Amino acid sequence: MDEKWQKSFPVSWDQFHRDARALAWRLSAAGPFHAVVAITRGGLVPAAVVARELGIRVVETVGVASYDYEKQGEITVLKTISPDIVGKNQGAGVLIVDDLVDTGNTAKVVREMMPKAHFATVYAKPQGRPLVDTFVTEVSQDTWIYLPWDMELQFKAPIGDKATA
């Protein structure tokens, strides 16, 4: 892991689902929204939960790549947003959803596409926090968030087991 990540924050599927529902609850007073735009790939899961909870049937994606697992790289737009979603009003009434905002680089790129959209993330770090309208949990900048789709379960020997220690 990159040395800038001093802490880890593992998130289970149950916890992520609870946090995504909490995000929907916070967003319920911010709408109405006529569409959700998920930033792929991390925003797909929370966008599905939020869209379900808020009764939004139009779900679009924008493909932005910036991470290669543990290292952040250049921003690449892989897929743009449909002009039907952006509309003539620069994204007003559209909800953008991502799993987290870290440095804010991805958020800046998507914000430029739809400056009047409402931007929401489940998790936020201080550097990217100003670009987000709504979030659930803030973590320190030096924390790596292990999201459930990036982990697998494996056996861990008990602390007192001398044979495997």
102 catalytic? Reply is yes
Catalytic residue among 102, 133, 142, 150: 102
Cα distance between the two ends of the chain? 23
Catalytic residue among 68, 98, 150, 161: 98
Residue of 2, 19, 68, 99 marked active site: 99
* Residue 99 appears among annotated catalytic residues: yes
User: What residues act catalytically?
Assistant: 98-99, 102
